[in-house]
């Protein structure tokens, strides 16, 4: 590979062309201090420092001579991977911008047709499209969550990252989702801990996610969705308004899954989890399995909680917990 080809490839990855010139020279000539680089490349000292700073930050160059600041190339795999990931994120953002520009064109120039409102996404593009739309959400994500799941259970890293940057999540879980110990522990709990507002219903009508009130992704909630793995993408329309209304109605009817800020200081973590799961409608066997405790231990905790709340049934305990800010 020629130096010019290498320069082109590095620039394609997003590395500054001026820094590329210094990096290619170091690869050809070996480690060098600031003064030599300035002389050989006909650069000012400030220009040398600026270009080396880019290479240091990227992970392509290190300092081997602390006294004179001798710069030397290092094994580039990690640095190049970082550049590639950054470039990939930029390309995705560019794709979203182009798609949004086209949608604006369609709205302003052409009249809507059914094809503009609903788009069918099929495998193997479903997971990629979901990640793309969710990663670009800016204000609020609404979701109906129910099995089956086409991806392995695990934390939703995109959601956690969105929550950290201020995106609101409201999720209504089907009871069948909460009853899956692996999914509950590795996905639901981490998302609630990161700030997700979660509620539960016995069932949800569809598997649905609405992004910023502008776009919805809908799939079936039964086994047909797992086999077909197709999804409908619904853009702004009366259909999207209806889906939004369906979510809000279900949200008001659902029971909270997360604890409020008014719980008594004496409420232990395991007791908070028990109340949360009782309010979700999970059976005793399911609660014991999710918490990794015996049925007898669960019964002792529930008896203690009902006594503390001054009630006689688990239903009354759940009502008391809701009214008094425990959940």
145 and 172 share one domain: yes
Over residues 258-273, the mean pLDDT reads 62
73, containing H or E segment: strand 70-73
Is the same domain home to 134 and 230?
yes
> Token pair for residue 309?
């709340």
90 inside domain: no
Q: Quickly count: other Cβ atoms within 10 Å of residue 54's Cβ.
A: 17
Indicate whether 302 and 192 sit together in one domain: no
Same domain, 280 and 207: no
Q: What 3-state DSSP class applies to 242? A: helix
**Alpha-carbon distance 85 to 107, whole Å?**
33
21, 54, 79 - which closes a domain: 79
Of 50, 79, 108, the residue that ends a domain is: 79
Better pLDDT: 142 or 326:
142
Instruction: Assess if residue 217 is contained within a domain.
Output: yes
Smallest CA-to-CA distance from 36 within 69, 14, 73, 79 is with 69
In a shared domain, residues 275 and 241: no
Once rounded to an integer, what is the mean pLDDT over residues 116-143?
85
Residues 6+ apart with CB under 8 A from 325: 260, 261, 262, 263
For 135-151, what is the mean pLDDT?
87
Average pLDDT, the chain: 80
Within 220-326, residue ranges assigned H as helices are 223-228, 238-253, 269-279, 284-291, 295-309, 314-323
Distance CA 169, CA 282 (A): 23
- Tokens representing 116 are 């503009």
Instruction: Let me know whether 251 and 276 are in one domain.
Output: no
What are the counts of helices (DSSP H) followed by strands (DSSP E) for the chain? 17, 10
* pLDDT at residue 224 in the model: 44
pLDDT digit string (tens) for 117-129? Answer: 888 887 777 888 8
Q: Give pLDDT, residue 212.
A: 93
Question: Is 87 a member of any domain?
Answer: no
- pLDDT, greater one: 249 or 154: 249
pLDDT grade, residue 171 (50/70/90)?
very high
H or E stretch covering 87: helix 77-109
Mode of pairing for the β-strands spanning 207-211 and 140-145: antiparallel
Q: 72-98 burial, b for 16+ CB within 10 Å, e for fewer?
A: ebeebeebbebbeeeeeeeeeeeeeee
Residue (of 96, 91, 98) closest to 13 by Cα position = 91
Please report whether residue 65 resides in a domain: yes
pLDDT tens profile 73-115: 888 888 788 888 888 888 888 888 887 787 677 666 655 555 5
Q: Do 124 and 240 lie in a common domain?
A: yes
Residues 209 and 274 in one domain: no
Range of the domain at 179: 117-256
Instruction: Give the pTM.
Output: 0.53
In a domain, 141, yes or no: yes
Do 122 and 227 lie in a common domain?
A: yes
> How many domains does one find in the chain?
3
Mean per-residue pLDDT for 40-64? Answer: 86
Distance CA 292, CA 280 (A): 17
Judge if 224 and 297 occupy the same domain.
Answer: no
Does 282 share its domain with 176? no
Task: Report yes or no on 108 lying in a domain.
Answer: no
> How many Å apart are CA 209 and CA 216, to the nearest integer?
6
- Report the percentage of the chain scoring pLDDT > 70: 83
In the 8-state DSSP scheme, what is residue 32? B
Residue 190 lies in a domain: yes
Residue 107: inside a domain: no
3-state secondary structure of 308: helix
CA torsion angle 239 242 246 248 (round to 10): 120
Among residues 169, 178, 136, 213, which one has the least CA distance to residue 286?
178
Query: What gap in Å lies between CA 58 and CA 80, rounded to an integer?
Result: 8
**Residue 16 maps to which CATH number?**
1.10.10.10
Range in 31-40, 46-55, 74-83, 257-266 with the lowest mean pLDDT: 257-266
Per-residue model confidence (pLDDT) at position 177:
87
Compute CA distances 60 → 13, 63, 136, whole Å: 13, 11, 30
**CA pair distance 36, 147, nearest whole angstrom:** 64
Interval 187-240: pLDDT, tens: 888 898 889 998 888 889 889 999 999 999 998 545 444 445 678 889 888 899
Give dist(CA 32, CA 47) in Å, integer: 15
Residue found under tokens 């609660």: 287
Instruction: Please determine, for residue 304, whether its predicted confidence score (pLDDT) is greater than 90.
Output: no
Q: Which of 10-14, 18-22, 37-41, 128-132 has the lowest mean pLDDT?
A: 10-14
CATH classification of the domain holding 188: 3.30.870.10
Q: Where is average pLDDT lowest: 68-72, 159-163, 280-284? A: 280-284
Last residue within a domain, chosen from 28, 56, 79: 79
Range with the poorest average pLDDT among 102-111, 142-151, 164-173, 283-292: 102-111
Q: Are residue 126 and residue 20 in the same domain, yes or no?
A: no
Residue 153 in this model has a pLDDT that exceeds 70 = no
């Amino acid at each position: 590979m020629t130096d010019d080809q290498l320069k082109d490839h590095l620039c394609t990855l997003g590395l500054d062309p001026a820094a590329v010139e210094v990096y290619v020279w170091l690869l050809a000539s070996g480690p060098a201090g600031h003064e030599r680089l300035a002389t050989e490349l006909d650069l000012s000292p400030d220009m040398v420092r600026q270009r080396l700073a880019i290479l240091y930050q990227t992970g392509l160059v290190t300092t081997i001579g602390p006294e004179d600041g001798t710069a030397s190339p290092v094994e580039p795999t990690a640095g190049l991977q970082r550049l590639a990931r950054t470039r990939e994120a930029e390309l995705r953002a560019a794709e979203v911008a182009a798609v949004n520009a086209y949608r604006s064109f369609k709205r302003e120039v052409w009249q809507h047709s059914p094809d503009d409102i609903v788009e069918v996404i099929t495998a193997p593009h479903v997971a990629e499209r979901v990640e793309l739309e969710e990663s670009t959400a800016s204000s609020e994500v609404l979701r109906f969550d129910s099995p089956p799941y086409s991806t392995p259970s695990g934390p939703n890293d995109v959601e956690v990252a969105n929550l950290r940057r201020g995106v609101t999540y409201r999720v209504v879980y089907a009871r069948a989702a909460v009853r899956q110990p692996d999914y509950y522990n590795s996905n639901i709990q981490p998302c609630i801990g990161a700030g997700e507002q979660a509620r539960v219903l016995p069932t949800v009508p569809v598997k649905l996610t609405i992004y910023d009130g502008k776009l919805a992704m809908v799939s079936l909630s039964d086994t047909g969705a797992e086999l077909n793995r197709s999804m409908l993408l619904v853009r702004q329309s009366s259909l999207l308004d209806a889906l939004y209304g369906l979510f809000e109605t279900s949200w008001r009817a659902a029971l909270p899954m997360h604890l409020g800020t008014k719980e008594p200081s004496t409420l232990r973590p395991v007791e908070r989890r028990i109340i949360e799961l009782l309010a979700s409608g999970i059976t005793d066997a399911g609660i014991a399995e999710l918490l990794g405790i015996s049925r007898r231990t669960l019964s002792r905790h529930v008896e203690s909680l009902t006594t503390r709340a001054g009630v006689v049934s688990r239903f009354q305990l759940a009502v008391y917990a809701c009214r008094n800010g425990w959940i």
